[in-house]
Amino acid sequence: MKSKSIRYSIQNPCDESWNDMKPEVTGRFCGSCEKTVVDFTSMSDFLIIHYMEKHKEEKVCGRFTKPQLNRVYQLKQPVFTPTFDLRAVVLGLALTTFSAVHSFGQTEPQEPVKVDTTFQVEPVIVGKIAVHHFNHEKESKVSGTIWASRKDFNQIFVQLKDVNGAVLKTIHPDSKGNFSIDLNWKLNPASLNVSGPNYENQELYFSSVRSLSGIQINLLDEIEMIRGEILQGDINITED
């Protein structure tokens, strides 16, 4: 098994605001450099290496925590040595299979094996995938509770935005984190943005939730991140 040690680095960290970037599946889109910044902060080592190996011919911009960059990753790949003869292995398997069949033919008849059929495999459904968007125009307000580690709700902002991202209204939650905003559907309200000092911004789109009442929003503590173009350094290659 061939093992390669890899270290990732960002020599020129990006100064663009992460919260101002548009959310995407793998991260956020940076309007300044017009490309996706991949969010590696919650990925496992396997997923980080898998993504970087799959895109190693491209320039990847990413978002890491400092501990993720201050370490070495191990990539293990199977390797066939010059003495490895695939034909011999195939021939050996064929001979082994023939011997097993021949031996089975010489044995006495056996009692049929009873198979337990109580375990049922769930049916697989194949077809075109439909994406459901919920219509909330019969609801008169959006309400819920915000969870924050420091309980500093007077410093947290809840913004109601329209379909174009313009702010329609800004409020603070109460001392218990509860909030409620009346809705005027003529203004096309479409989302909530919740922010606060040293917290990660949270964006909630109305079309993604079944009801606009009783919404739960968990604010995550912001940790120091490093963003920018990722450079890969291969430290060494060993064989186990």
Domain that holds residue 55: 2-77+225-239
Same domain, 164 and 230: no
One domain for residues 206 and 230: no
CA angle 151–154–155, rounded 5-degree value: 90
Question: Is 181 found in the same domain as 234?
Answer: no
What is the rounded distance in angstroms from the CA atom of residue 153 to the CA atom of residue 157? 8
Indicate the pLDDT class of residue 232, thresholds 50, 70 and 90.
Answer: confident
| C-beta of residue 28 within 8 angstroms of C-beta of residue 22 | yes
User: Residue 13: inside a domain, yes or no?
Assistant: yes
Question: Mean pLDDT, to the nearest integer, of 206-220?
Answer: 88
Calculate the average pLDDT of the chain.
77
* Amino acid letter for position 61: C
Residue 61 domain-assigned?
yes
135-140 contacts, C-beta under 8 A, 24 or more apart: 136/183, 136/206, 136/211, 136/212, 137/185, 139/183, 139/211, 139/212, 139/213, 140/182, 140/183
Q: Could you tell me if residue 156 is inside a domain? A: yes
The domain total for the chain is 2
216 token code pair: 């739960």
Mean pLDDT, rounded, for 26-50: 87
Task: Determine the Cα–Cα distance for residues 24 and 38; give it in Å rounded to an integer.
Answer: 9
Q: Are residues 8 and 69 in the same domain?
A: yes
**Is the residue at 9 inside a domain?**
yes
17 residue type, one letter: S
Residue 132 in any domain: the answer is no
- Over residues 96-149, the pLDDT tens digits come to 444 444 444 444 555 555 545 454 555 666 556 655 567 888 999 999 999 998
Query: In this structure, is residue 63 part of a structural domain?
Result: yes
The predicted-structure confidence for 171-207, as pLDDT tens digits, reads as follows 999 999 999 999 999 999 999 999 998 888 888 888 8
pTM beyond 0.75: the answer is no
SS3 of residue 146 by DSSP? strand
> Does residue 234 share a domain with residue 192?
no
Q: Are 145 and 202 members of one domain?
A: yes
Q: Tell whether 170 and 207 lie within a shared domain.
A: yes
Given this model, what pLDDT does residue 113 score?
Answer: 52
Same domain, 189 and 231: no
